[in-house]
Amino acid sequence: MANTQPAQLSFSVEDELTTDASISVPAMVDPAMTVAQLAGAWSSLAALLDPVIAAQITGGRAILQLPMAGGKANPAAGSRVEQTGVFNFHNGVTDRRWGLAVPGLSSAVISAGRINLTDAGVAALLAALEGAITGGGVYTNEARQALTTLADAFISFRKRRRQLARSSFEL
């Protein structure tokens, strides 16, 4: 077993006053683990934590930290994470919309002040989100309802104050 895959095992905990906190444990796991084995590793650690804490473990996550293969070597000139594309989807169950915020939207996919839905990259992203995940599954909202069709898309500017302060300087 080669433990070469970075992972993060996290646990949500709640005390008797309903105050929430989290426990985050970095790990290195075998990249050949199945999803069931990773879930088992998370459950085993939860069982070890439970007798040590007085709070209740209410849930958690096992996350694989994947390196980006391909893609950009550096951010594009003029890119800003504040420029966010919001894609609202119907879920086929309710009339409500679920929005996916995509920070750092490229100016190249904007036409006449709107997201160009016919842009090849945008169209490919939307087709994937409305379809099946490669290897099995579908994309969903937080209620685990499958995304079925795009309702609308718009551009939003969201400030990320902490990062903005770090990337700014006074003259």
pLDDT tens column, 117-166: 999 999 999 999 998 888 888 999 888 899 999 999 999 997 765 555 55
Q: Do 91 and 55 sit in the same domain of this protein?
A: no
**Predicted structure pTM score:** 0.74
Say if residue 23 is in the same domain as residue 54.
yes
Dihedral, CA of residue 38, residue 141, residue 105 and residue 151, to nearest 10: 150
- 77 inside domain: no
Residue 75 lies in a domain: no
Which residue segment(s) compose the domain that 14 sits in? 5-64
- Domain-ending residue, one of 16, 36, 64: 64
User: Per the structure, how many domains does the chain have?
Assistant: 2
Judge whether 37 lies within some domain: yes
Indicate whether 105 and 158 sit together in one domain.
yes
